Amino acid sequence: MWAYPFEFRPPPTAEKDIKFLVKWCEKLGVNKVFFAVRRGIYSFHESKILPQNPQFKGFNLLGKIVKSLHDIGVEAHGMVVVSPWVNLREKVPSDIDPCPPFLRRRDWLPVDRYGFREDEAPFFGRTYDLDIGQEEVRQFIAEYVRDLIEAVPELDGIHLDFIRYRYWKSTLKIIAGPGSEFRRIPPSPAFIKMTLSRRLLNEEEGLKLAYKIMDVRNAGGPPFKETEIILEREYLYCFCEKCLKNFTDKTGIEFPENLKTTDEKSSWLLEKHKEALIKFRIDNVTDQVRKVRKVMDEEGFNKPLSAATFARFPPHGTTDTKPPSEEDYDKILYTIAQDWTSWAREKLLDFAAPMLYWMPPQNILVATLILKKRIGKDFPLYPGILTADNYKYKPKWLLEAAELLKENNIEGLTLFRYGTWCERVRRNLGMKPIYRYEKTIKRIKE
Ligand SMILES: [Zn+2]
């Protein structure tokens, strides 16, 4: 089961919440908990690299959870999120201590294919990722794992989440009219930046987005009538100067002199050397996994390394009932560069929890079997099932999925996440339960 610090109320109530977690795991037969050790810039262990969450300062939430779960024989793995590091909803005090290096190093933020660095147009307007195309950044993330192992050596393993690039692509159509303020609609390639006035904690930050004008139909001049502007945002990174240089160094592919802007360079790469670019990005992510494994070995931490991985991307939207296919995995390699079955074959990973989200039970099985076929049947898989407010997973489906997986000798399943499956946690946090799952989960245990 995946669990997160925000599912626990600050001390002293946290003690009660930890006791309840333990009881719940025991009652329902949960035998591994992957606990997120960080939220935004804050750690939930005594870290030398990141500040502790102010609400939990001096409480050692992670240490207490690990100890309490061990008392009943449940494994506790430290879940390390690799991609997003800064949540813009959280206010960062100016006297923060220790001050994480990435708050000073804006050159550690990725640049998208259009040339916008992430602080100009943050992912979903909310978070900053780190640029894992840079060796220095990957080493920093590995050092954070070392920091975690040294602070909480009792952990039963390290679990990587968001171990990938992030990606999204969307197209908007604007009908302009009369649109006099434009005087003329700029032709492609030009960019439109938007700031939605959504209030975040850092109030000057709105929801910033940047779109490329791809096409203008019935342009004319003002007053515009039936003029269509097609906008696109493909959030694909990183195309910073360092990554472009690394790409050339690794592949020998030089950029023609006439290409000036990042947009021109990325478009040229995608047109002429897409395969090389995909491989370059995959290698960066795989190297991150290798660096984490190396730190674990150096620390003598001989425990499993695992990851939350993908079978299909994007996982949501209209594709959820489409049967899984072999091609799903190949698309992942372009979008998020997560070739995790190769990590399994290379023995970098000991097991994986592919996130299948809200696929119907039969599709959960099909996707899992496709993955097993790629890796080998002996590699342990614990497919992850999500329930959430907007995707309520029926209790009946959960039971069916569990039965199908068991019949096919799959090692288990992972619940995503504690706070959505457990009605008590929902109530504690002031939310209505999604369903009453306890009976079903108990039946799975039996
Ligand atoms: Zn870069």
Secondary structure of 128-190 in HEC code, one letter for each residue: EECCCCCHHHHHHHHHHHHHHHHHCCCCCCEEEECCCCCCEEEEEEEEECCCHHHCCCCCCCE
Kindly state the average pLDDT of the residues 55-84: 96
Q: Ligand 1 mean position to 349 CA, how many Å?
A: 26
Check residues 226 and 204 and name the one with the higher pLDDT: 226
Check residues 57 and 243 and name the one with the higher pLDDT: 243
Q: Ligand 1 mean position to 131 CA, how many Å?
A: 5
Q: Ligand 1 mean position to 245 CA, how many Å?
A: 9
Q: Ligand 1 mean position to 132 CA, how many Å?
A: 7
Domain 2-109+128-166+274-445 classification at class level: alpha beta
- Is 263's pLDDT higher than 80? yes
What's the whole-model pTM score? 0.95
Q: Ligand 1 mean position to 243 CA, how many Å?
A: 4
Share of the chain above pLDDT 90, in %: 80
Give ion ligand 1 contacts, CB < 5 A: 131, 133, 238, 240, 243
- Is 441's pLDDT higher than 90? yes
Residue 181: pLDDT band (50, 70, 90) is confident
The residues of the chain that CATH labels 3.20.20.80 are 2-109+128-166+274-445
Q: Ligand 1 mean position to 240 CA, how many Å?
A: 4
Cα 39-41-43 angle, rounded to 5 deg: 60
pLDDT of amino acid 177: 83
Residue 201: pLDDT band (50, 70, 90) is very low
Q: Ligand 1 mean position to 2 CA, how many Å?
A: 30
- Distances in Å between the Cα of 134 and the Cα atoms of 244, 286, 293, 296 are 11, 13, 18, 21
pLDDT tens, position by position, 330-374: 999 999 999 999 999 999 999 999 999 999 999 999 999 999 999
Kindly state the average pLDDT of the residues 182-201: 77
Kindly state the average pLDDT of the residues 233-238: 94
pLDDT of amino acid 198: 57
Nearest to 321 by CA among 360, 295, 286, 293: 360
| Tokens (6 digits) for 443 | 């039946």
